[in-house]
Structure 1
Amino acid sequence: MCTTPTWHVSAFTHRGRVRGSNEDTIAIGGQILAGDLPAPLEFHLSSRASVLMVADGLGGHNAGALASRFVIEQLVKLIDCTATAFDCATAITETNQNLFDLMQQQPDLAGMGSTLVGAVLQQTELVSFHVGDSRLYLQTPLHLIQLSQDDVPEGNIDPQGRRTTHGITQALGGSLGFIAVEPHVTTDPLPTPDETLLLCSDGLTDLVSDDAIRRVLARTADLSLATRRLAALAFRRGGHDNISIVVARRERA
């Protein structure tokens, strides 16, 4: 049974300044966010609803927005606050299979795919999972730590944490024939109220360095304002891709 703690969450998603539509999808608990938000939304979640996810439909592939929403809708049903690392891995592999089944049933959707990053905020542990290049960070009082591992060709991350190419080595879907997915799933201690989680699509991290992200999170106590500032940095640096940001902090008892 899930009990305390509770979480304060700010979420934002937008097409950016160049793309014609937003192919990202966010889940905050059971609530799904897509399209363009005019401003960050704030949530106060009990641990019964503390599952956070960001999916980024593959740009240049067919039906990216549909793929990311399908992935999120499937996983909202399959992953809850009691999910173990094994449960999360099983749910992701099942969702990948279902995505390919959908493509087989509807050939016009062939090749659609999505990345994924998520966090299950349990009573004493953080279970995180990801596939592709969407990221999960932990901001401590002194450091920004990337908890996720980019599925990109080796050597394609620069010293500032930004990619030098847009290729990824795996995604959910994303090919004409079935390819099994190997999700990264880890279990870590639950963040303290002095620490902050950031889940985001590469529309943020391709344009904003880890150091700039660290400075915003370290200097901005208000989560909605931190979300706005991160999005503004990506927009100022071109906003070339869809931008999705979820910032979460454990509330003090």
Structure 2
Amino acid sequence: MTEQFFGLTDPGKQRKNNEDTYIAEITADNQFIIACVIDGVGGYAGGEVAAALARDIILKRLEKPSGEIIPIMLDCFNQANQKILFEKQNSKEHAHMACVCSLALVDIQNNQFYFAHVGDTRLYLVRDKSLVKITHDQSFVGFLEDSGRLTEEEAMKHPKRNEINKALGLDKHLGDDKEYVETGQSPFLTGDMLLLCSDGLTDMVNSMAINAIVSSDGSLKEKCHQLVDAANQNGGADNITVVLVHNNKQKVQFETAKPVANGNKSANEKINPLTGDDPLPAQKLLKTKNKTGMVTLLFVLMLFFFAVSAYEYIKNKDNPPSLPMQSTVAVKRQKNKQEIKLQRVIDQAKGPVLILSDTSFTAPLLISGAIQINKDSLTIKAKGKIVLQSDSGYKGPAFQLSAKCKNVLLDSMSLVNFQVGITSFNNALDLKNTRFINCPVQVESTYTFPDKKYISGKLSPAAFRVDSIPLNKKK
């Protein structure tokens, strides 16, 4: 493989400073290409600072990514968001800074890409010379354009084009909103290309012109320069940043079997290299001998089989063999890939919050063995529809909290057909927007006390409450 990615940023024609930045490099383990465009907002210097902070956080978090990709990308955004908020509190000069960002992780080997997005930077997929917009602009004008109420040309000229409603550094609880960060994954086929760009390009150059450039011949470097030049030629009103990633693997081609030129001869039958006619006489003789020997061997084997069968029949005619005793050993169920993946993600969770995305765990997720939670404190939050369903014949719980757990929160998931939904110790369990469907015992809690000690007190009333709608939809 040759050129796979390239990035370029330019201040444009009307800005003195450049608040954009980008990432176009490969991870340390050579597994993923990191492609990212970050556009800073918040006045002179502030936007640059926010964009730089986000870039540093993302690169550090993605040094050696392991585990589920979408949750890792969400963690990148959460860490960047917290870092920007922290810096804003300590700098009056940068009190209004924030940034918007589109991030893609490209797995060339497995022909997949994953993305996370906040704001009005954009991610496009180029396939068969067609430009497909993947992300949605998180702005009022972007909504009008995506819903068909405005044409692209009208949206490009709208006076509120650059007013965004979501960014890193604006909301303290970024991770609590399922819809704040747009995420997804898609196949990345041979010949496909990704374009990530800031609004400095898309405000100046329409999609038809962009597609003409990225679909033309030339290197990724040449195409990036052509995109920046086109934006500047149309006014260059803002900073311009573009990143291109190309799946340039060679397509696998299979040769069609050629028909034999001489009559109806088998494709495996060799032709006399001297005359082009039938095989040499010695070769024919060898084939005839091989066939005769094979027939003789099969005949001998058949006779042996019949002789053994007759012997066994006579031997067991009067004394039929007794039936074997049935084994009473329980067969241990083999966990499926989804279960194994979920357990691994929980075991490898870094930090107090773990986000499970329905793009990684398809519903329903069949459970044949309890998912173990052994961490002191952990919030497991579902993004999208996460449903855990008991496999047929399984009688255990969906989740089993160990005695080590002190505070475990399960947020926005459904448990279906479990005899016991969750087992816990010492009131360590906290629930939010969790549903139990056809679960006779929803929560089973065990209390552990020191051995041989006198215990006094009583169990406190449960603090759970029942709602018909999720908490975040209440007014």
**Unaligned stretches of 5+ in structure 1?**
32-44
Q: Among 195, 199, 204, which residue is 1:207 paired with? A: 204
1:148 aligns with 2:135: yes
Looking at structure 1, the residues matched to 122 and 3 of structure 2 have their Cα atoms a distance apart, in angstroms, of 20
**Alpha-carbon contact 1:141-1:195 (below 8 Å) kept:** yes
Deviation at 1:250, TM superposition (A): 1.6
The AA in structure 2 aligned to 1:66 is V
Partner of 1:18: 14
CA 1:84–1:7 in structure 2 vs 1: closer, same or farther (change >3 Å)? farther
**Aligned Cα root-mean-square deviation (Å):** 2.4
Taking a change above 3 Å as real, the CA distance of residues 146 and 110 of structure 1, as seen in their structure-2 partners, is same
Secondary structure of the structure 1 residue equivalent to 2:31: helix
1:94 aligns to what SS in structure 2?
helix
Q: Do the aligned residues in 2 keep the contact of 1:7 with 1:46 (CA within 8 Å)?
A: no
Determine the C-alpha separation between the residues in 1 that align with 2:85 and 2:106. 29
Are positions 1:90 and 2:90 aligned together? Answer: no
Mapped partners of 2:248, 2:145: distance in 1: 37
TM-score by length of 2: 0.46
Instruction: Find the aligned partners of 1:147 and 1:117 in 2 and give their Cα distance.
Output: 11
Match for residue 183 of structure 2? 185
- Matches for 1:74-223 after TM superposition, within 5 Å: 74-79=57-62, 80=64, 82=66, 84-122=69-107, 123-124=109-110, 125-153=112-140, 154-155=143-144, 158-160=150-152, 162-163=155-156, 164=158, 165-174=161-170, 178=172, 180=174, 182-189=180-187, 191-223=188-220
TM-score normalised according to structure 1 size: 0.83
Query: In 2, are the aligned partners of 1:160 and 1:211 still within 8 Å (CA)?
Result: no
Of 55, 58, 69, 2:41 maps to: 58
| Shift in Å, 1:7 | 5.8
Which region of structure 1 is more displaced relative to structure 2, 79-88 or 228-237? 79-88
Matched-pair contact (CA < 8 Å) for 1:7–1:250: no
How far off its partner does 1:184 sit? Answer: 0.9
Matched, 1:28 2:11: no
Task: Compute the displacement of 1:220 (Å).
Answer: 2.8
Q: Could you tell me whether the CA contact under 8 Å between 2:70 and 2:114 is conserved in 1?
A: yes
Distance 1:57 1:9 in 2: 23
Deviation by residue 1:66-112 (Cα, 9 ceiling, x = unmatched): 11010010111113554511111122122211210111122322111
Does the 8 Å CA contact 1:24/1:244 hold for their aligned counterparts?
A: yes
2:50 corresponds to: 67
SS in 2 for 1:133: coil
AA paired with 1:102?
A: E
User: Which amino acid in structure 2 is aligned with residue 135 of structure 1?
Assistant: R
Say whether the 8 Å CA contact 1:81–1:121 is kept in structure 2: no
CA distance in 1, matches of 2:29, 2:247: 10
Structure 1 residues 7 and 130, CA gap change in structure 2 (3 angstroms): farther
Alignment match of 1:251 (pick from 236, 240, 248) = 248
Using a 3 Å threshold, how does the CA distance of structure 1 residues 159 and 47 change in structure 2: closer, same or farther? farther
Please give the alpha-carbon distance, in whole angstroms, between the structure 2 residues aligned to 1:95 and 1:10.
24
Distance 2:181 2:214 in 1: 27
- Structure 1 residue 179, shift from structure 2 partner: 5.7
Question: Counterparts of 1:140 and 1:87 in 2: how far apart (Å)?
Answer: 27
Corresponding pairs, count? 233
Determine the C-alpha separation between the residues in 1 that align with 2:26 and 2:189. Answer: 23
Secondary structure of 1:172's counterpart equals coil
- The answer to whether the Cα contact below 8 Å between 1:16 and 1:241 also exists between their aligned partners in 2 is yes
Find the counterpart in structure 1 of residue 221 from structure 2. 224
Match of 1:9 in 2: 5
Q: 1:194 Cα shift?
A: 1.4
Contact 2:33/2:105 (CA < 8 Å) preserved in 1?
yes
Shift of 1:47: 3.8
Q: What's the secondary structure of 2:100's corresponding residue?
A: strand
Question: Which has the higher Rg, Structure 1 or Structure 2?
Answer: 2
Match of 2:215, SS state, is helix
CA distance in 1, matches of 2:5, 2:241: 13
Superposed displacement of residue 23, structure 1: 0.6
Deviation at 1:192, TM superposition (A): 2.1
